[in-house]
Amino acid sequence: MTEAPEPLLKVCDLRVWFPIRKGVLNRIAGQVRAVDGVSFTILPGETLGLVGESGCGKTTLGRALMGLEKPAGGRIIFNGQDLGALTGQARRQLRRHSQMIFQDPFSSLNPRMTVQELVTEGLVHHRLLQGRTRTESARELLASVGMDGDCLFRYPHEFSGGQRQRISLARALSLQPHFLVCDEPVSALDVSVQAQVINLLLDLRERHGLAYLFISHDLSVVRLMSHRVAVMYLGKIVECGATSDVMETACHPYTRALLSAVPRPGKHQDKRIILTGDLPSPAAPPPGCPFHPRCPQALPVCAQQAPPVRTLDNGHSWACHITPD
Ligand SMILES: Nc1ncnc2c1ncn2[C@@H]1O[C@H](COP(=O)(O)OP(=O)(O)O)[C@@H](O)[C@H]1O
Ligand SMILES: [Mg+2]
C-alpha cells in the first residue's frame, strides 16, 4: 500500500480578524472576521483554486499564509513546520519557500527599481547569487518567464500588464519557492494576455513542481488551473473537493448559485440562480449558516445552528443543513 503524500501546506482552523476602532480613545468596537475558521491542505505540486465574491476573505487568507497578516487563531504548517512557532532565521528560511503574486503587479513592483534590481533583489538579500553577477541571474530568470534580457535596465512603468506579471513571476521564482499564492493574477489583464499568463503558470508548475493557491473570482480560469477547488463565503470555506466534483456536482447552494452564473458551451444550462441581497458584513456575520439570509433553500434551522460538514469518500465536502438528494 502506498502512503498518502505528506501535504506541503496544512491550514487548521485559521482565523484572521481585523479590529474596528472607534472614537477618540480608539477603542476596539468590533472585529472584521475576514478569515474565520478555515482548514485545508495542499499537496506538493498541487493547485487549490480559491473562489468567492469580492470581500469574502481570499486575499487576507493568502496574505496570512505568507506571514503578512497575523492570525488570531489556528495553525499554518508548511513543510511539516508550524509557521507560528518559528521566529527569526528559521522563519525567514521557511518564508523563502512560499511567494505571492498579486492582481496588480504595478503596485507590487517598486517603480524606482530596474527590472534587474527587481528580479534579483531576493537573491542578493538571501546571499544566493553564488558567484554569478546580478545580470547573469536576471537574464536567466527573465528567460524562464519568456522575456528577453534587453529590458534589464528598464522600469516597471515601461511594460504592459502581462509583461509586468511576468516580471513579478521571475521575481517570485528567484528564491526557488515550492509554493506560490497567485491572487487574481490575470483579472486585470486583457483576455488574450490572460491566456498567455495562464499557460506560463501551467508551464512553470510543470517545470518546477510548484504548488499554487490560485485565487480568482473567475470560475472558468479556476477550472483550467486547479486540481481541487475551495469555495469561500464570508470568511469560511463552504465547499471543497476535486475540481470536477465541485464543478459538476456542486452540493452547497452558494456554489450552485456561483456556477449557474457561468455560461457553459455545449452543456445544458441550469436555471440561473439569482442571489438576492449583498454579502453581509464580516464584522457582523449572520448567526447559524452565514449564507442563510441569501440561500434560496434556507430552512428555519439554518438561521439557528452552524451547518454540519458532510464529506464523501472522494474527499468532496461541504457545510450545509440540507440533506443532499
Ligand atoms: N487591513 C484591513 N483592515 C480591516 N479590514 C480589512 C483589511 N483587509 C481586508 N479587510 C476586510 O476583510 C474582508 C476580506 O477582505 P479581502 O481578504 O480583501 O477579500 P477578497 O480578497 O476576497 O476580496 C473585507 O471585509 C475587507 O474589508
Ligand atoms: Mg482580493
Per-residue pLDDT, 114 = 96
**279 pLDDT exceeds 70?**
yes
Note whether residue 106 is domain-resident: no
Per-residue pLDDT, 268 = 64
**1 pLDDT exceeds 60?**
no
Per-residue pLDDT, 265 = 65
Ligand nearest the Cα atom of residue 232: 1
Per-residue pLDDT, 270 = 66
DSSP codes joined into one string, 141-201: HHHHTT--GGGTT--GGGS-HHHHHHHHHHHHHTT--SEEEEESTTTTS-HHHHHHHHHHH
Ligand nearest the Cα atom of residue 63: 1
Side-chain-side CA neighbours of 290 within 13 Å: the count stands at: 23
**pLDDT tens digits, residue range 246-266?**
999 999 999 999 998 877 666
| Confidence at 13, pLDDT banded by 50, 70, 90 | very high
Helix H or strand E encompassing 98:
strand 98-101
Strand order in the sheet with 27-42: 27-42, 9-22, 73-78, 81-82
Averaged pLDDT, 273-284: 86
Side-chain-side CA neighbours of 63 within 13 Å: the count stands at: 14
**pLDDT tens digits, residue range 116-133?**
999 999 999 988 888 899
Note whether residue 2 is domain-resident: no
C-alpha 56 to ligand 2 mean position (Å): 8
Q: Which bin fits 150, alpha (ψ -120 to 50), beta or left (φ > 0)?
A: alpha
Note whether residue 189 is domain-resident: yes
Note whether residue 171 is domain-resident: no
Mutate to test the pocket of ligand 1, among 14, 51, 60 (most ligand atoms within 8 A of CB): 60
Ligand 1 atom index nearest CA of 54: 23
Ligand 1 atom index nearest CA of 20: 4
How many domains does the structure of the chain reveal? 1
Establish whether residue 60 lines the binding site of ligand 1, counting it when its CB lies within 6 angstroms of any ligand atom: yes
Establish whether residue 18 lines the binding site of ligand 1, counting it when its CB lies within 6 angstroms of any ligand atom: yes
Note whether residue 231 is domain-resident: yes
Per-residue pLDDT, 269 = 63
C-alpha 215 to ligand 2 mean position (Å): 8
Ligand nearest the Cα atom of residue 58: 1
Question: Does this model's pTM top 0.85?
Answer: yes
Tell the residue nearest (CA) to atom 8 of ligand 1.
60
| Confidence at 95, pLDDT banded by 50, 70, 90 | confident
Give which of 252, 253, 167, 182 is closest to 218, Cα–Cα.
182
Note whether residue 146 is domain-resident: no
Averaged pLDDT, 64-74: 94
State how far the Cα of 139 lies from the Cα of 158, in Å rounded to an integer.
Answer: 18
**pLDDT tens digits, residue range 158-186?**
999 999 999 999 999 999 999 999 999 99
**pLDDT tens digits, residue range 135-146?**
999 999 999 999
Say how many C-beta atoms besides its own lie within 10 A of residue 2's C-beta.
Answer: 4
Tell me the residue range of the domain where 239 lies: 9-97+177-319
**238 pLDDT exceeds 80?**
yes
C-alpha 154 to ligand 1 mean position (Å): 33
Ligand 1 atom index nearest CA of 18: 4
Establish whether residue 236 lines the binding site of ligand 1, counting it when its CB lies within 6 angstroms of any ligand atom: no
| Confidence at 272, pLDDT banded by 50, 70, 90 | confident
What's the CATH number where 280 sits? 3.40.50.300
Per-residue pLDDT, 44 = 96
Note whether residue 113 is domain-resident: no
**321 pLDDT exceeds 90?**
yes
Per-residue pLDDT, 88 = 84
Who contacts 266 (Cβ-Cβ below 8 Å, separation ≥6)?
A: none
Establish whether residue 32 lines the binding site of ligand 1, counting it when its CB lies within 6 angstroms of any ligand atom: yes
Establish whether residue 54 lines the binding site of ligand 1, counting it when its CB lies within 6 angstroms of any ligand atom: yes
Ligand nearest the Cα atom of residue 61: 1
**17 pLDDT exceeds 80?**
yes
Mutate to test the pocket of ligand 1, among 14, 15, 18 (most ligand atoms within 8 A of CB): 18
| Confidence at 276, pLDDT banded by 50, 70, 90 | confident
Note whether residue 141 is domain-resident: no
The answer to whether 303 and 286 have CB atoms below 8 angstroms apart is yes
State how far the Cα of 129 lies from the Cα of 142, in Å rounded to an integer.
Answer: 15
